[in-house]
Structure 1
Amino acid sequence: MTEQRVVLDLNEAGVAVDLPRLDHAQDEVQQVPYRPVDFRDDNLPNALERAASWLRKAEEWLGEPLDVIAIHLDYDDSENSPYYEVKLLCNDEDLAGAPIAVRAAQQRRASP
């Protein structure tokens, strides 16, 4: 059996350079095996809407459902911080675009 290498185009955070960007300055992709993608806002519906919008864009980009293991809701009542924090715990391979790279490698192998 020959091992096929898949090359990923990642940024400094270890996610795909083409991953849809977060639209709000207070949202972020964190660094853990299942990476939390944070959406922070003083208004919970706004944070949830941004999370849903980003998830739709990410799944469209990925070409399949994004592996989200959990959704976590927290709050931060410290001064000058957005109160609500919605976290989507996402598979880091999906955020890196691995399924896209695997499909591209399969297409290259299938092409004459």
Structure 2
Amino acid sequence: MSEQAIALDLDDTGMAASLPRPPHARDEVQSVPYRPVQFRDDDLPTALERSAAWLRSAQQWLGEPLDVIAVHLDYDDRAGRPYYEVKLLCNEEDLAGAPIAVRARQSHSSAD
């Protein structure tokens, strides 16, 4: 059995160029192991809602459940600077679009 390379359309950070990005300015996909996708707000329900909305759009884009390895919650309750930070630790291959590329290659192979 031979392994064939799968071409991925990645941006400079190694994520799929077409991956939905969190739309809010305080949210981001970070460049560390397990690709934390961060949602930060001074209101916890709002941060959770934005993380859930992004997760739904990313799963729709991926065409299957996104592999979320862990959910991390952090907060700072100091006066004048309160915030909540929700991080979804996601599988890097999912965020790079590998399952999409594998399905495309399989459908191309079966069409031949």
Give the alignment's TM-score, normalised by structure 2.
0.92
Matched, 1:49 2:52: no
Instruction: Compare 27-36 and 38-47 and name the one that shifted more.
Output: 27-36
Superposed CA offset, 1:69-90 (max 9, x none): 1100001457986611000000
Q: Tell me the equivalent position of 1:34.
A: 34
* Equivalent residue, structure 2, for 1:23: 23
- CA–CA distance in structure 1, aligned partners of residues 60 and 74 of structure 2: 27
Alpha-carbon distance between aligned partners in 2 of 1:81 and 1:27, rounded to the nearest angstrom: 17
Contact 1:40 1:82 in 2 (8 A): no
Residue by residue over 1:26-74, the C-alpha shift from the partner in whole angstroms, topping out at 9 and shown as x without a partner, is: 1011122311000000010000000000000000000000000110000
Amino acid at match of 2:35: R
AA aligned to 2:64 is E
Q: Secondary structure at the match of 2:17?
A: coil
User: Matched residue pairs, number?
Assistant: 112
Mapped pair 1:109 → 2:101: no
When normalised by structure 1's length, the TM-score is 0.92
SS in 1 for 2:49: helix
Would the aligned equivalents of 2:21 and 2:28 in 1 still touch at CA under 8 Å? no
DSSP-derived class of the 2:10 partner = coil
Deviations 1:9-31 (A, max 9, x none): 01111110110121101101112
- Mark the runs of 5 or more structure 1 residues left unpaired by the alignment: none
Q: Quote the residue 2:89 is aligned against.
A: 89
Q: Percent identity?
A: 69
Alpha-carbon RMSD across the aligned residues, in angstroms, is 1.7
- The yes-or-no answer on 1:7 pairing with 2:7 is yes
1:94 counterpart SS class: helix
Q: Which runs of 4+ in 1 moved over 3 A?
A: 76-82
